[in-house]
Chain A
Amino acid sequence: MSESLFSKKNRKLITDPLTDNNPVTVQVLGICSALAITVQVNQAIVMGLSVIFVTMMGNVVISMLRNLIPSRIRIIVQLVVVAALVIVVDQVLAAFLPDLSAKLSVFVGLIITNCIIMGRLEAFAMANKPWPSLLDGFGNGLGYAGLLVLVAVFRELFGSGTLLGFTIFGNSLPGEESGLYAMGYTNNNMMILPPMALIIVGVIIWVQRLRNKELQEDH
């Protein structure tokens, strides 16, 4: 039986991780990097794209090899594939986006330890064909990236008064204030600090579970 490329089942692979099965807010994976690189939106976007690339390619490669990988060393094989992909991302960023690469610094390397990726490889790619695996990787990567960007929007807007580096609330330089700053508004420095990312993620999780009662745990 052949299935169309974007059958309902396959579409669900992409849409589920965006909403009711989001890797960050529902499975609560990959929290550490969500704290670290969400101070600016452009960092979050690049990090999100990197993770999408790694989850997609990792899923495809592992899925293609799934019938060959000896089960005793499957975790190590997964790690080697993920590590290789992450090094590719790191090298390409260093060559083409040196400033961003310097800012993301160790966090690109730490994609290797991102639980979402290993989780998808072990839970999905080891048991499914390459195409559904690709979609699953894309969906989960996108779910992660989307949340990262959402958190970063809050943090950059209220922490620095900018979005993607463009000033939103006016000039905040002391002595030449304009816009909101001229009216006495100040940036919330708390937003720049890592704990605020946790609080924002927490609020998002709360709102999501408030809207979808099925996600609420009973205990």
Chain B
Amino acid sequence: MAINKESNGFTFGFAITLVVVVGAVLALLAMGLKPMREQNAKVKKQLDILSAMLDLEKEGINRQNAASEFEKYINLDEAVVLDMNGNVKEGVNAFDVDIQTEYKDKKLKDTDKNYPLFVAKQDGKTLYIIPIVGKGLWGPIWGNVCLDEDMATIKGASFGHKGETPGLGAEIQQKFFIDRWIGEKISDENGDFLKFEIVKDGSGKDPQKVDGITGGTITSKGVEEMANRCLSVYAAYFKTLKTKE
């Protein structure tokens, strides 16, 4: 039986068979590797949170010991989840909240968004780590901000991005940019939120002002928007904590 392999029927049949076989193989592979990818994502999140308070390289923290180091500094039982007005939400696990997905989700109402807060202990001091998320020039940007025990002064931070321009917007991850945020305050003595401003004129030394990155204006502005929108929620929460005391 000779098959005419140039016939339309054979061409269609070949194409359909090929796509079904390839599709099945890839689907199986993706399912098989899913647990490992999820585990990797979890470890990455732990590292991101820790990187706000520690220099991971100096402390020798990597993927292998991330889980134990994370437990050493951060007690997830103390972590809370806030709503957009800074009130504590019950029944939500802070670590499981994916703020990046929630931020992208257009259907999710602002009032339903979760704002996780992690509480860390280092050298007897209580530190607060706030994950933040926003939009850069080309895609999402995110970060973690670590507040000192006064619940106002920024002690450390880490920023990340999906695809900002290397050498320009992508520089937000660099130490020199993060250092510009350290020491800034998110609230005044009364606990009221203080806005940040990214500036171009080199006046970043002034309180509440941070020098932007040359050539990375839109990404820098994205960091400003992200910090102001997210941190104001936490400032409100810290104010209620302080007034209770």
| Closest CB in chain B relative to A43 CB, distance in Å | 14
Contacts of A4 in B (CB 8 A): none
Report how many residues on chain A are interfacial, defined by Cβ distance under 8 Å.
Answer: 22
Contacts A72-B11, A99-B63 given: A94-B37 contact, CB under 8 Å?
Answer: yes
Q: Which residues from 59 to 89 on chain A have a C-beta closer than 8 Å to any C-beta of chain B? A: 68-73, 76-77, 80-81, 84, 87-88
Contacts A70-B11, A73-B14, A84-B25 given: A92-B33 contact, CB under 8 Å?
Answer: yes
A95 part of interface (Cβ distance < 8 Å): yes
B30 part of interface (Cβ distance < 8 Å): yes
A166 part of interface (Cβ distance < 8 Å): no
Contacts of B63 in A (CB 8 A): 98-99
Q: Say whether A95 contacts B15, CB under 8 Å.
A: no
B2 part of interface (Cβ distance < 8 Å): no
Contacts of A92 in B (CB 8 A): 33
Please report the C-alpha to C-alpha distance between residue A105 and residue B163 in the assembled complex, in whole angstroms: 9
Contacts A70-B14, A73-B15, A99-B63 given: A91-B22 contact, CB under 8 Å?
Answer: no
Please report the C-alpha to C-alpha distance between residue A184 and residue B40 in the assembled complex, in whole angstroms: 41
Pick from B22, B36, B43: contact of A95, CB below 8 A: B36
Contacts A76-B15, A80-B18 given: A87-B26 contact, CB under 8 Å?
Answer: yes
Contacts of B5 in A (CB 8 A): 68, 70
Contacts of B30 in A (CB 8 A): 91
Please report the C-alpha to C-alpha distance between residue A92 and residue B10 in the assembled complex, in whole angstroms: 34
Please report the C-alpha to C-alpha distance between residue A87 and residue B14 in the assembled complex, in whole angstroms: 21
Q: Say whether A94 contacts B14, CB under 8 Å.
A: no
B44 part of interface (Cβ distance < 8 Å): yes
Please report the C-alpha to C-alpha distance between residue A80 and residue B163 in the assembled complex, in whole angstroms: 27
Q: Say whether A91 contacts B14, CB under 8 Å.
A: no
Report how many residues on chain B are interfacial, defined by Cβ distance under 8 Å.
Answer: 22
Please report the C-alpha to C-alpha distance between residue A91 and residue B43 in the assembled complex, in whole angstroms: 17
Please report the C-alpha to C-alpha distance between residue A69 and residue B3 in the assembled complex, in whole angstroms: 12
Q: Which residues from 22 to 71 on chain B have a C-beta closer than 8 Å to any C-beta of chain A? A: 22, 25-26, 29-30, 33, 36-37, 40, 43-44, 63
B19 part of interface (Cβ distance < 8 Å): yes
Please report the C-alpha to C-alpha distance between residue A169 and residue B161 in the assembled complex, in whole angstroms: 31
Pick from B6, B19, B44: contact of A70, CB below 8 A: B6
Contacts of B44 in A (CB 8 A): 98
Please report the C-alpha to C-alpha distance between residue A69 and residue B10 in the assembled complex, in whole angstroms: 9
Closest B residue to A83 by beta carbon equals: B22
Contacts of A81 in B (CB 8 A): 22
Which residue of A84, A92, A94 has the most chain B CB atoms within 10 A of its CB atom? Answer: A84
Contacts of A105 in B (CB 8 A): 163
Please report the C-alpha to C-alpha distance between residue A80 and residue B29 in the assembled complex, in whole angstroms: 16
| Closest CB in chain B relative to A200 CB, distance in Å | 19
Contacts of A76 in B (CB 8 A): 15
Please report the C-alpha to C-alpha distance between residue A67 and residue B163 in the assembled complex, in whole angstroms: 43
Q: Say whether A94 contacts B11, CB under 8 Å.
A: no
Please report the C-alpha to C-alpha distance between residue A80 and residue B16 in the assembled complex, in whole angstroms: 12
Q: Say whether B26 contacts A88, CB under 8 Å.
A: yes
Please report the C-alpha to C-alpha distance between residue A87 and residue B26 in the assembled complex, in whole angstroms: 8
Contacts of B15 in A (CB 8 A): 73, 76-77
Please report the C-alpha to C-alpha distance between residue A72 and residue B36 in the assembled complex, in whole angstroms: 40
Contacts of A73 in B (CB 8 A): 11, 14-15
Q: Say whether B14 contacts A88, CB under 8 Å.
A: no
Please report the C-alpha to C-alpha distance between residue A73 and residue B7 in the assembled complex, in whole angstroms: 12
Residues in chain A within 8 A of chain B (CB atoms): 68-73, 76-77, 80-81, 84, 87-88, 91-92, 94-96, 98-99, 105, 193
Residues in chain B within 8 A of chain A (CB atoms): 5-6, 10-11, 14-15, 18-19, 22, 25-26, 29-30, 33, 36-37, 40, 43-44, 63, 163, 167
The 3 closest A-B pairs by CB, nearest first: A95-B36, A95-B33, A98-B40
- CB pairs A–B below 8 angstroms (8 shown): A69-B14, A70-B11, A77-B14, A80-B18, A88-B26, A94-B37, A95-B37, A98-B63
